[in-house]
Amino acid sequence: MMIRTILILLSLMATLPATDAYSRPFQDNERLKFKIRWGLIPAGEVTIEVQPCTMIDNLPADHFVLTARTYPVVDLIYKLEERIDSYVYPDTSRSLLYKKKQTGNSQRDIIVTFDWQQGFVQYSNFGQKDEPIKLLPGTIDPLSALYFIRQQDLSSEIAIKRPVTDGRKLVMGNASILGRERLTLYGKTYETIKLEPDMQDVQGVFTKSKDAKMTIWVTADDRKMLVKLKSKVVVGSFVAELVEDNYRQ
């Protein structure tokens, strides 16, 4: 549930305006590791990585990978191990392929294919296909949304819409810039930009929580790296904080 919430947040973060020129503030082999607390309980770890560029359907693609696992104390309640692979056109203007493999209490083997010639996205889980849904121009997947936001100009306070899909539903969202804040996490200090996504179109865990709220912090530099996420939802509150950045100088 916590990992799913993080990905929903990342999809909403893709609603900010695109820059005119493509810039890539991340490097191949970049690896960011986060620790998650559910209330006061250490709950799990999430790692997000940039893999070397590859080819998908004869098109060049950036390859992003998210892996997640819960700690043994949480495994007693809900065990989760997950890997997500996102393949997106190099300027992050559109997704090309999205895969999710999940084990533990819940089992999933999801493949989401993007047919830009026909204008549809196809979701399947263990080979069982849903009805295709129509794509909108510039649609991206929830994981690539994180890297999309890192390529945007966050000096503007204007929030616009951006289509995001996990293959089953396509949503539009908004995100507001709240200002700047200095954070110290695990002995490291960051100058950050604080943002709040609008969860109006988000379903699932948020539908029964009128006070659902999320806040995220990204570095106020050229990298715009996610360093902290705080969420209050129907299942409680959790915080994800950066503990390892292999490219930090």
The DSSP string of 87-113 is: EE-TTSSSEEEEEEEEEESS-EEEEEE
How many Å apart are CA 242 and CA 205, to the nearest integer?
24
- Domain of residue 111, CATH code: 2.40.360
How many Å apart are CA 180 and CA 220, to the nearest integer?
8
State what percent of residues in the chain have pLDDT above 70: 79
Domain-located, residue 249: no
pLDDT of residue 161: 66
Which residue(s) pair with 190 in the sheet? Answer: 183
What is the pLDDT confidence band of residue 116, given thresholds at 50, 70 and 90? very high
Of residues 232 and 207, more confidently modeled: 232
pLDDT of residue 196: 82
Q: Note down the domain range covering 101.
A: 2-244
Residue 199's nearest CA partner among 27, 10, 34 is 10
Domain-located, residue 230: yes
* pLDDT tens readout for residues 156-176: 666 656 788 999 999 876 677
Of residues 20 and 54, more confidently modeled: 54
How many Å apart are CA 24 and CA 151, to the nearest integer?
6
CA 55 to the chain's CA centroid: 22
Domain-located, residue 186: yes
User: Phi and psi (nearest 5°) for 120?
Assistant: -135, 155
Domain-located, residue 65: yes
What is the pLDDT confidence band of residue 9, given thresholds at 50, 70 and 90? low
How many structural domains is the chain composed of? 1
Residue 226 · residue 218 · CB < 8 Å: yes
Residues 6+ apart with CB under 8 A from 61: 53, 54, 55, 87, 88, 89, 90, 96, 97
Reported pTM: 0.84
Alpha helices in the chain (DSSP H): 2-13, 72-75, 142-149
Which residue(s) pair with 88 in the sheet? Answer: 62, 95
How many Å apart are CA 185 and CA 248, to the nearest integer?
14
What is the pLDDT confidence band of residue 236, given thresholds at 50, 70 and 90? low
User: What is the average pLDDT value for the chain, to the nearest integer?
Assistant: 83
